[in-house]
Amino acid sequence: MLRVVFVLSAAFFLTVGGVLYFMPSAGLLGLTVTPVWVARFTGAVIAAWGLQLALSASRPSGRSIAGLATGNLLVSATLVPAALAGITAVSGIPAVLPLGVGAGLVVLAVLAIVLPRERSRL
């Protein structure tokens, strides 16, 4: 039964995340959600993601490594274009910080993929 809960939760978050990630900016204007609730929802998802990564670190597997790399690359793919667009509009630290975070996440994703995995004790 617990597996069903995990599958349904994953289906919900993957669907909502995919829709929100790929929604054009014109579609976002139709959302009638206050920014406070958006920030709280985003904070909850990021906290859950961080907890999942912390728990997966104790026993990394192929699935958890793929999730780590995919998540890092998606966040980087979101930050870097926005930062590059912001560099032309505003120069300085606010534009460089997202570029640094995006580059760091790409490095971590690549390291997770190429570093040797621990052998199973089974």
What pLDDT digit, counting tens, does each position of 40-92 carry? Answer: 777 777 877 887 878 777 777 777 888 888 888 888 888 888 777 766 655 55
Instruction: Quote the CA–CA distance of 1 and 29 in Å, as a whole number.
Output: 39
* Confidence band for 27, pLDDT divided at 50, 70 and 90: low
- C-alpha span between 3 and 33 (Å, rounded): 32
pLDDT score, position 28: 61
pLDDT band at 1; cut points 50, 70, 90:
low
Q: Which pLDDT score, from 0 to 100, does residue 45 have? A: 79
What are the tokens at 35? 């920014």
Question: ∠ at Cα 113 (53, 43), nearest 5°?
Answer: 30
Residue among 99, 68, 101 nearest 83 (CA): 99
Residue type, 72: N
Q: pTM for the whole thing?
A: 0.66
CA 50, 77, 108, 41: dihedral to nearest 10 degrees? Answer: -10
Question: What are the backbone angles phi and psi of residue 91, rounded to the nearest 5°?
Answer: -100, 155
Q: Is the pLDDT of residue 122 over 60?
A: no
* Beta carbons within 10 angstroms of residue 82's beta carbon: 13
